[in-house]
Amino acid sequence: MDGTLLHVVFDLVAWIAAGLSLLWLKQLTGVQFPSSTTRTLNYIAALVFGAGIGAVLFGTANLWLSNQIGVARSVEGGIAGGIIAIELYKRLAGIRERTGARFALPLAVGVAAGRVGCYFAGLDDFTYGTPTSLPWGHDFGDGIPRHPVQLYESAAMLLFAAVYVACLRRRNRFVIENGFYLAVGFYGVQRFAWEFIKPYGGVIGPLTLFHILSALLAAYAIAMIATAPDRGAVHDRAFA
């Protein structure tokens, strides 16, 4: 099976893994997430549309900034596009509640699985790292050992998932309520770090487009956590 086909397979695996993790959360007794309106068709349509546009827009822009030709997709671009679309939809629909709490684990698991597909896709995927002399450097086909940065990212998100689940089992209310923003923030921070060992073109000095996007995602997460409403007084009404 060639790298491109493997990538497609792992994209499917990522969606399945994310879906299964969401189902598992529903079976985790005692964990009550904030109630939300995430099941409406309009909400789902906004999420899918925004994620799709963001993935292609940022992926392709980064390709061009790196003096490459073609169209690309970006996981981080998809996350950013989905967030922007949902926030706009909520504003237009007059929805004030926060709707992402249940999606923290699916996000982490989905990214972890999908990045394995990027690793197997090889050079064509343009997600590999810069050359390295470290013993785990991987030759993607051009005879040059490179950082398997896709696996670094996958391992980082699996670590987040493990810590997140441990906090859920302890019924950590802060983590339950702010899980999605914690996931987005963690993703942004770890992605910012890995960008220094990727062969992407800089936008501001050594900083790439994804450095900037990672910083914005982290800032968004911090702002949302900092402005979270106090749910203590309305616990029985706000959680279901």
Which DSSP symbol is given to 122? G
Q: Name the nearest CA neighbour of 35 among 95, 107, 104, 101.
A: 101
> Rounded distance, CA 179 to CA 101, Å?
6
pLDDT at 3: 59
Tokens 């249940």 locate to: 102
The two structure tokens encoding residue 177: 């309520």
Report the C-alpha gap between 154 and 41 in whole angstroms.
Answer: 30
Q: What is the pTM (predicted TM-score) of this model?
A: 0.90
Q: To 10 degrees, what angle do helices 75-93 and 104-121 make?
A: 150
**Please, what is the angle between helix 3-27 and helix 104-121, to 10°?**
160
- CB count within 10 Å of CB 124 equals 14
- Evaluated on CA atoms 110, 112, 116, 122, the torsion sign reads positive
Q: What is the pLDDT of residue 21?
A: 94
Per-residue confidence (pLDDT) for residue 123, from 0 to 100: 87
Higher local confidence (pLDDT), 37 or 111: 111
pLDDT of residue 233: 43
Q: Where are the beta strands (DSSP E) in 78-231?
A: 138-139, 145-146, 202-204, 207-208
At 234, is the pLDDT very low, low, confident or very high (cuts 50, 70, 90)? Answer: very low
Beta strands in the chain (DSSP E): 138-139, 145-146, 202-204, 207-208
Question: Of all residues in the chain, what percent carry a pLDDT higher than 70?
Answer: 92
What's the pLDDT tens digit per position in 114-165? 999 999 988 888 999 999 999 999 999 899 999 999 999 999 999 999 999 9
238 pLDDT tier (thresholds 50, 70, 90)? very low
Whether residue 182 is predicted with pLDDT greater than 90 in this model: the reply is yes
Res 69 pLDDT > 90: no
Neighbours of 40 (CB within 10 A): 13
Q: Of 58, 57, 60, 56, whose CA–CA distance to 70 is shortest?
A: 60
Residue type, 199: P
pLDDT reported for residue 2: 59
Torsion sign across C-alpha atoms 154, 46, 24, 5: negative
pLDDT of residue 34: 79
Quote the pLDDT of residue 240: 32
Mean pLDDT of the chain: 90
Structure tokens at 131: 């050359």
